[in-house]
Amino acid sequence: MYKNISYFGGVNSLRFFAALLVLLHHSATIGRKYGLFDLENVGLFRNGANAVNFFFVLSGFLITYLLQKEQSQTQNINIKQFYLRRIRRIWPLYFLLIAIGTIFLPLAISISGLDYQMPYSIGQTWYYFLFFCPIMVLHIYGHHLLEPLWSIGVEEIFYLMWAPLVKFFKKHLPEVIFATMGLKIATEVAAYCFFDSSSVFYLLAFNYNFESMAIGALGAYLLFNAKSSIENKLCFKPIVRLPVCSLVLLFLFFNINIDNAVWNALFFTPIVSPLILSFLYLYVIFSAVLFCKPKGVLENKVLVTLGEISYGIYMYHCCVMFSVVVLLSKFKDALPQWAVVVLFLSLAVAITLVVSYFSKRWFEDWFLQRNKSKVSK
């Protein structure tokens, strides 16, 4: 019933909202670091980690569905083409940001005479970026302008192993999915019990979110292989779907913390809570895919367009915010606090959206169109 979905309704809008949450999270971090404002205790500005985890679940869902669809239609998965598609979509912007953050920005800072010292040089970090382990840069040098790249490294490693697993274990895909989840959870338990939280093993165990992507993959497997209508099942009836989706979105956007033992156990227990949240994110994705109407809120043209540039929003926003900090630092003392907050957020969001839009149209799409032209030949 669901083996030939060509467009996932509502997904682009969800991508945008997740990217926006990451932007807001980093705006609070950067605003406090440079003495502009302190919003880190406001729920809307402290849920970036959960938004990134949502991205992981969504990535696992989409990639696994598309791999299954290709295998069903062609009796094969062309791993080379899969890798090339991922390279053309991810690498251009990834390496452009590395060039901006390690070469052009330091050069601009040096020329302008700004009182700012980059926490690292390209000579100290190039191998981490090149081999898709930018999380080590964060671990060694702390918060920096290329911080969002860490999750791209996680996804790239997952893609590298996932396509061959889906291809060669197609009859045992559920076992592969549960094995991935089990091994990752076992790694987290080992890290939690036997390693210091500052160790590299602990860092990698809790940030390489393969279990979240595996949960997304499980959702894709269940959807693709469903024998009957999912929409009619009790768990997706409006009386269940609306409260659950509302609860998840309230938590995701506002990081609501209810002083209740059950709530705390669900959402604030190490190892267990991220799994629960990942399944809830998957439920929201299912709800969007199954019930989003062509003229519904999530298919609004503006939101869809913003979703299409969400990769750019996620990648560019920290560099844009640093530029806004430099601009505001010259006259922030002459403005009231509320004006600084409004001006910073307005400029950061507006400039990020504009840069991301033109990056998608003039830079990222160029690589994607080359792929299409080669296929057509």
Which amino acid is it at 104? F
* Total tally of structural domains belonging to the chain: 1
Res. 86: pLDDT tops 50: yes
In contact, 44 and 269? CB cutoff 8 Å: no
Looking at per-residue confidence, does 283 or 377 come out higher?
283
Report if residue 143 sits inside a domain.
yes
Identify the band that residue 125 occupies on the pLDDT scale cut at 50, 70 and 90: very high
Instruction: State the pLDDT at residue 257.
Output: 64
Instruction: State the pLDDT at residue 372.
Output: 60
Mean pLDDT estimate for the chain = 91
Task: Determine the Cα angle at 324 with ends 15 and 114, to 5°.
Answer: 135
| Cα-to-chain-centroid distance, residue 90 | 12
| Residue pLDDT, tens place only, 280-320 | 999 999 999 999 888 888 999 999 999 999 999 999 999 99
Please report where in the chains the tokens 């869809």 appear, as a residue.
304
Looking at per-residue confidence, does 268 or 200 come out higher?
200
Among the ranges given (59-63, 73-77, 142-146), the one the predictor scored with the smallest mean pLDDT: 142-146
Instruction: State the pLDDT at residue 236.
Output: 92
Instruction: State the pLDDT at residue 115.
Output: 67
Report if residue 77 sits inside a domain.
yes
Report if residue 366 sits inside a domain.
yes
Q: What CA–CA distance (Å, rounded) separates 281 from 215?
A: 10
| Residue pLDDT, tens place only, 91-107 | 999 999 999 988 888 88
Instruction: State the pLDDT at residue 375.
Output: 45
Identify the band that residue 376 occupies on the pLDDT scale cut at 50, 70 and 90: very low
Mean pLDDT confidence for 233-255: 86
Report if residue 273 sits inside a domain.
yes
Res. 114: pLDDT tops 80: no
| Residue pLDDT, tens place only, 311-359 | 999 999 999 999 899 888 888 888 898 999 999 999 999 999 999 999 9
In contact, 117 and 106? CB cutoff 8 Å: no
Report if residue 4 sits inside a domain.
no
Report if residue 269 sits inside a domain.
yes
Res. 377: pLDDT tops 50: no
Identify the band that residue 374 occupies on the pLDDT scale cut at 50, 70 and 90: low
Looking at per-residue confidence, does 279 or 46 come out higher?
279
Report if residue 363 sits inside a domain.
yes
In contact, 61 and 290? CB cutoff 8 Å: no
Report if residue 154 sits inside a domain.
yes
Question: What CA–CA distances, in Å, run from 219 to 16, 129, 231?
Answer: 21, 31, 14
Res. 46: pLDDT tops 90: no
Long-range contacts of 349-354 (CB under 8 A, 24+ apart): 349/20, 349/23, 351/320, 351/323, 351/324, 352/23, 352/312, 352/313, 352/316, 352/317, 352/320, 353/306, 353/309, 353/313
Structural domain span for residue 174: 11-376
Contacts of 131 (CB under 8 A, 6+ apart): none
Instruction: State the pLDDT at residue 264.
Output: 75
